[in-house]
Amino acid sequence: MRLNKFIKYPIYVLGVLFLVLMSVLTYVSIALPNAGEVPELEVSLTKENIDRGRYLSYHVMMCADCHSQRDFSLFSGPPTPGTEFVGGDVFDQSMEFPGTFISANITPYGVEDWTDGELFHLITTGIKKDGDPIFPVMPYHSFGKIDPRDVEAVIAYLRTLEPVKTDHPKSKADFPVNLIIRTMPTEPQFTERPPVTDRIAYGKYMTTAAACFDCHTRFEKGNYVGPQGGGGRAFKFPDGSVVRTPNLTPHETGLKNMTRETFIGRFKQYADSSHSLAQVKPGEFQTLMPWVMYSGMTEEDLGSIYDYLRTLEPYENSVERFTSASAN
């Protein structure tokens, strides 16, 4: 009799735990993500809006970079000409992503059946029109903190692109990340774009719009580690080489000894028509930093970003920038 009690008790406990687990999984699968309602809006296709959207898409928010097919035979992997906004760039297990994530075609061919509100909701919350979330390769958490007018400007520009027909495979997250990403979207916390004369506030805004801290903050086991901008996030190339992002804080191991002019010039060198990107072989130093596209940012915007970065708390973090696959 006593033996039966010892047997039944664990069975009851396991049964309860199973029911709790199933309830949680059901809630996550059905009730999440939840980040507010899709707004009803129609963006204005004015020249000012389109021009602003073009600038943001190419040189700040990097839509044209990730939604392209990058050529990593050249330094910094610039988009292959003609593939901008067409999608097809792959982020998969070979780069230590928890699944296979493929950037979407965001020309009118890919988003013609999306309303402006649905695109706005996706960009700022990471939730697609069917209610499913995307993996935050696209930094929607950052885009949900900028001025809604800038998001609308991007949408206005995308509407003007030439439709390009493609058929990319669907992205697929590995288990349990396919469930975890459903908990990630949150309601946007929009801010108004500060005047450019307020260099620190404007620099912080542009740093957010460019999602600088998404890459320049150490990331381990699904969580950011250390202060924003402290550097050290590792990205693995398919050949096994690893590149790590530098420290952006005003510490000796970061930007303390870099002048404003040098910082701006570091970007603008790639805007020089005489500059030729170096050929890069597997195992040689390479970077994910889209220098060519960021080089199109105005000196005023780059300078403001520098001014803001100088206000960060100095953080000691000497980063080993690159480890070749041959050294692993």
pLDDT band at residue 273 under the 50/70/90 scheme: confident
What's the pLDDT tens digit per position in 209-262? 999 999 999 998 778 999 999 999 999 998 899 999 999 999 999 999 999 999
Amino acid sitting at position 284: E
Q: How far apart are the C-alpha atoms of 225 and 231, rounded to whole Å? A: 10
Q: How far apart are the C-alpha atoms of 158 and 131, rounded to whole Å? A: 22
Q: Tell me, what's the pLDDT at 103?
A: 97
Inter-residue contact 210 to 150 (CB < 8 Å) = no
Q: How far apart are the C-alpha atoms of 87 and 84, rounded to whole Å? A: 7
Which position has the higher pLDDT, 249 or 27? 249
Strands (E), 164-289: 172-173, 218-220, 223-225, 234-236, 242-244
Is the pLDDT assigned to residue 94 strictly greater than 60? yes
Q: What is the 3-state secondary structure (H, E, C) of 74-118?
A: ECCCCECCCCCCCCCCEECHHHCCCEEEECCCCCHHHHCCCCHHH
Which of 24-28, 129-133, 324-328: highest mean pLDDT?
A: 129-133
pTM for the model: 0.91
